[in-house]
Amino acid sequence: MSLESILNEIDRSREDEIQKINQYYEEQIKNVREACNKKIKELQEYYALKQKDDSKLIIKQYEDQIKIQTKQILDNKKKEIINSALDKAKSYITSLNKSSRYPELLEIMVDTSIKKLGKDIIVECSESDMEKIKAMNKVNPKNVEANSGIKSGIIAYSPDRLKMLDLTLNTIFKEISDDILAYFYENVK
């Protein structure tokens, strides 16, 4: 073999080695690129799904907050309406002494007291109601007493003062206010 053939053989061998190395590293680079692209695609899909789930969760949280706030607003408005209606009912009941039906109401109170406590009851009432009660001729006039703490209605006692029946309009309102509240809560939507 000549020197030239040996040099050509070395060049060819070197070229073959370089080509094999190039092919090997091109294959390695291709594999790394494919692995990177696959990982990038997986990450993109994962984060797209995570973003979608996170968005749904955030939207759900906002919807829940809106529902809670709406319920609170409605409950507060309902309470406001009910309190206003209760105030009006109290005002109406406590001002019944100014109505034309008040003498009839007083008579019903006296009749109820007589039924519950006996014929010889003692009646305490406002100064302005004393004459109305005496005019009924149902209670001994000596047993009708003025009480400055009573604005409207009566407080009746048994003759021995051991039993009492409070029929003042304020007390009546206190007794029925829970029923009025229950009615309002059931009917205010």
Any idea what the CATH number is for the domain that residue 171 is in?
Answer: 3.30.2320.30
Token pair for 61? 């949280």
Tell me how many domains the chain contains.
2
pTM reported for the whole predicted model = 0.59
DSSP 156: E
Residue 39 pLDDT level (bands cut at 50, 70, 90): very high
Do 110 and 150 reside in the same domain of the chain?
yes
User: What does the pLDDT look like over 41-82, one tens digit per residue?
Assistant: 999 988 888 888 888 999 999 999 999 999 999 889 888 988
Do 24 and 59 reside in the same domain of the chain?
yes
Residue with token string 């759900």: 60
- Smallest CA-to-CA distance from 172 within 189, 150, 187 is with 150
Residue 83 pLDDT more than 80?
yes
Q: Which domain covers residue 30, as residue numbers? A: 1-68
Q: Is 73 within a domain?
A: no
Do 123 and 171 reside in the same domain of the chain?
yes
Residue 6 pLDDT more than 90?
no
- 103 contacts 132 by C-beta, under 8 angstroms: yes
Q: Is 58 within a domain?
A: yes
| Cβ atoms within 10 Å of 6's Cβ, excluding its own | 10
User: What does the pLDDT look like over 104-158, one tens digit per residue?
Assistant: 999 999 999 999 998 899 999 999 899 999 999 998 889 999 999 988 999 999 9
If one compares 89 and 63, the residue with the highest pLDDT of the two is 63
Residue 117: its H or E element: helix 102-117
| Cβ atoms within 10 Å of 5's Cβ, excluding its own | 9
